Amino acid sequence: MRLALFASAALTGILERRPELSSPLTSVRSLREGTFLYKHDYDPYAGGVFYHSPLFLLFFSYAVPIESSVLTAGLWTAVDVIVAILLVKIWRSRHPAGSKWSSRDHTVALLYLFNPYTLLSCLARSTTTIDNALCLYAIAATYTGNGAPAMAALAIATQTSLYPVILLLPLLLVLRHLGAPNQKLAAYSLVFVGTLATLAGLATLACTDSWIARTWGVILAVTDLTPNVGMWWYFFTEMFDHFRMFFRGAFQLHMLIYIVPLCLRLPDPRQAVLILVGTMATWKSYPTLGDMALWAGLLSCYPDYCTNLNHPLFSLTVHLYTAILLPLLHTLWLLTGAGNANFFYAATMVYGLNATLAIADVLGAIINLDTRRRLMDIVPGKYKQYNPPADSGEIIQVDFPSNWTVAQLASLE
């Protein structure tokens, strides 16, 4: 289906220009311009239109020429298939062969492949798709105990989009949870730092050090205010210059303050990974709908959490609502001239608020489910009506005596 849709140049041309699918840091149109300048011995980072990682610049200049529509269509399609396979591996790491849920591998894959956000990002040739694959490979390799490849992949993802670095601590905790000793954890940390430093050195040799300010610098300083589905662009458009530094720091710290509390509060560090991926998809400086597709795909590996959400229908319908509003209000603002920037920003605020509420809902489901499971361990067996296997994701049903009072406890140690 993807390859058939790629055959329509008109369709892909429209999608490549959509701000919901491509940001200045992930746009294939910007990538084409950067590779053209690089091949003609100009510094693509000298202007203000190219913000891609040097890894993408070199890869799409020599390995897979970005000008080839056939090769790029095959690449983006293959990357989506690889991501689906990685999601199945993550699913199997939670539900090994022989468990009740092990036969639902195809469901996890199809939920990702037929997600409209995933499909449209692929057709727009947004490099978010490749960033998602790198990030998900790091997660899948960690969950299967392959620490060195996981840290190397996380370093590559950090080099291309920076924000995956927030997953470093929870992924190391996952490896520790799987039995890795402290010496190996230190070695894995060195793999991450060494790979990142090596990639930065190679990028500097190929493009001089100008890439730092035009990639990581733009992500942190938010100097390009092209409209996107995030919360940053309109806020900093209206910001007075002397307040800009303070609020940039506040917004960037907002991405970091959740790491340690989540790792301390949640009993399984894989739960912290799930929440941080959603936070990254919602609150990074240049998000796209493809980032939300990654979180939705990862969430499909946790049906036990999905069945304990408080308002899943609300979150889903508001996502559909914003999927209509975003292109509609963008058109009213920039194409027909019947609106202004507030129209589009109102839609992005609804999108961000709904995504934040969905993350909070998932976090609440995680905490409630873990509390109930631990509480069931101390309930006498004669009150248990149904005691499913530990890997089934189902909840033990308990017939409490009438004189019992059940409360959620902060700690059951």
Sequential DSSP letters for 22-64: --TTT-HHHHHHHHHHHHTT--TTSSSS----HHHHHIIIIIS
d(CA 336, CA 135): 39
User: Which range has the worst mean pLDDT, 95-109, 320-334, 378-392?
Assistant: 378-392
State CA 306 to chain mean position distance. Answer: 18
**pLDDT score, position 193:** 97
Q: How many CA atoms lie within 13 A of 52 on its CB side?
A: 28
Question: 397: helix, coil or strand?
Answer: strand
Q: What is the pLDDT of residues 166-215, one digit of tens each?
A: 999 999 999 999 998 999 999 999 999 999 999 999 999 988 888 999 99
Residue 36 pLDDT exceeds 50:
yes
**pLDDT score, position 101:** 58
In 3D space, the residue among 236, 23, 244 whose CA is nearest the CA of residue 124 turns out to be 23
d(CA 45, CA 37): 9
Tokens of 251: 């917004």
d(CA 195, CA 161): 15
Q: What is the pLDDT of residues 344-379, one digit of tens each?
A: 999 999 999 999 999 999 999 999 888 777 776 666
Tokens of 209: 């050090």
**pLDDT score, position 58:** 95
Q: What is the mean pLDDT of residues 152-169?
A: 96
Split at pLDDT 50, 70, 90, the class of 385 is: low
Question: 388: helix, coil or strand?
Answer: coil
User: Is 46 within 8 Å of 210 (Cβ atoms)?
Assistant: yes
**pLDDT score, position 98:** 55
Q: What is the mean pLDDT of residues 335-345?
A: 87
Hunting for tokens 């790091």 — which residue is that? Answer: 138
**pLDDT score, position 379:** 62
**pLDDT score, position 250:** 92
Q: What is the mean pLDDT of residues 294-299?
A: 94
d(CA 83, CA 137): 8
Residue 409 pLDDT exceeds 60:
no
**CA separation, residue 157 to residues 137, 166, 226, 283, 355 (Å):** 10, 11, 23, 17, 23
Q: What is the mean pLDDT of residues 273-293?
A: 95
**pLDDT score, position 296:** 94
**Residue of higher predicted confidence among 49 and 113:** 113
Residue 408 pLDDT exceeds 50:
no
d(CA 108, CA 120): 19
Average pLDDT, the chain: 89
Neighbours of 178 (CB within 10 A): 15
Which residues on neighbouring strands pair with residue 386, listed in sequence order?
Answer: 397
User: Which range has the worst mean pLDDT, 145-159, 267-281, 335-349?
Assistant: 335-349
**pLDDT score, position 99:** 58
Q: What is the mean pLDDT of residues 24-49?
A: 92
Q: What is the mean pLDDT of residues 205-228?
A: 92
Query: Taken in order 67, 288, 130, 39, is the CA torsion positive or negative?
Result: positive
At 283, the amino acid letter reads W
Residue 76 pLDDT exceeds 60:
yes
DSSP 150: H
Q: How many CA atoms lie within 13 A of 277 on its CB side?
A: 29
d(CA 141, CA 49): 35
d(CA 223, CA 237): 10
Question: Which strand (E) or helix (H) includes residue 259?
Answer: helix 259-265
Neighbours of 212 (CB within 10 A): 16
Query: Taken in order 185, 189, 194, 196, is the CA torsion positive or negative?
Result: positive
Residue 311 pLDDT exceeds 80:
yes
**pLDDT score, position 372:** 76
Q: How many CA atoms lie within 13 A of 157 on its CB side?
A: 26
**pLDDT score, position 412:** 44
Residue 287 pLDDT exceeds 90:
yes
Q: How many CA atoms lie within 13 A of 86 on its CB side?
A: 22
Tokens of 395: 């909840």
Q: What is the mean pLDDT of residues 72-85?
A: 96
Question: 386: helix, coil or strand?
Answer: strand
**pLDDT score, position 368:** 86
